[in-house]
Structures are given as structure tokens and as C-alpha cells.
């Protein structure tokens, strides 16, 4: 029963957030600071999720093949490689490190 309560509360919360977004006056959304924050927020959230999934294992900090894959992707991005090549570099390096380390 507790799971269904959590599902219901989450659904109501999501609806409330959507409704709150619709109720914000258009003038507020046109401010330069709000536009800048709205553009940067998804990037910051994605970076935080990537860092958490790459360098954390529960409560411990880990450096393993995932970190090598992220480093390879960062190098490919620095070299301005296309997105698919960035992803491929990360996959190949991560798989290679895992294969070498067993």
C-alpha cells in the first residue's frame, strides 16, 4: 500500500509543478536572468547526474572504467568530434578498460 501512496503523491506533485509553470506570468519568463537560468539548468542537472553515476557507488567514491570513458568523451568533445563519435569513444574506452582489468 505504501508504494501506491508514493505513486499518488508523486503524480500529484508532478501535476502541481506543471500547473505552477503554467501560472507564471509571461513577463517573468521574459527576463534575461530567467532565460539564462532556464538555458543552463538542464546542462547543470545532466552534469551532476553524470558525475554521480560515474564517480559514486553508494556512499563511496570510485574511479573505474566509467571514469576512463568519461575522460575519453571529454577529450573527444575538446577536439570537437561529432556527438556519435564522442559516445563511441566513451563506449570503446570503457569496454577496453573493463576488458583489461577483468
pLDDT in tens, 37-73: 989 999 999 999 989 988 988 888 889 899 999 999 9
Grid cell for residue 27: 513577463
pLDDT category of residue 1 using cuts at 50, 70 and 90:
low
Grid cell for residue 15: 501535476
Which residue range is the domain that position 4 belongs to?
1-30
Would you say how long the chain is, in residues? Answer: 102
* Residue 82 forms part of a structural domain: no
Percentage helix, strand, coil for the chain under 3-state DSSP, each rounded to 5: 80, 5, 15
- Phi then psi for residue 40, to 5 deg, are -90, -25
Structurally, the chain folds into a number of domains equal to 1
pLDDT digits 0-9 by tens, 5-16: 999 999 999 999
* Residue 65 forms part of a structural domain: no
pLDDT category of residue 82 using cuts at 50, 70 and 90:
very high
- Please tell me the distance from the alpha carbon of residue 69 to that of residue 86, in angstroms, as a whole number: 10
Amino acid at each position: 500500500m505504501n508504494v501506491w501512496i508514493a505513486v499518488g503523491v508523486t503524480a500529484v506533485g508532478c501535476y502541481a509543478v506543471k500547473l505552477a509553470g503554467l501560472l507564471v506570468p509571461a513577463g517573468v519568463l521574459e527576463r534575461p536572468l530567467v532565460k539564462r537560468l532556464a538555458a543552463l539548468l538542464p546542462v547543470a542537472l545532466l552534469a551532476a547526474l553524470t558525475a554521480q553515476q560515474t564517480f559514486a557507488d553508494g556512499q563511496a567514491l570510485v574511479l573505474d572504467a566509467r571514469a576512463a570513458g568519461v575522460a575519453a568523451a571529454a577529450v573527444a568533445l575538446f577536439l570537437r568530434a561529432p556527438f556519435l563519435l564522442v559516445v563511441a569513444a566513451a563506449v570503446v574506452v570503457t569496454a577496453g578498460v573493463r576488458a583489461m582489468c577483468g
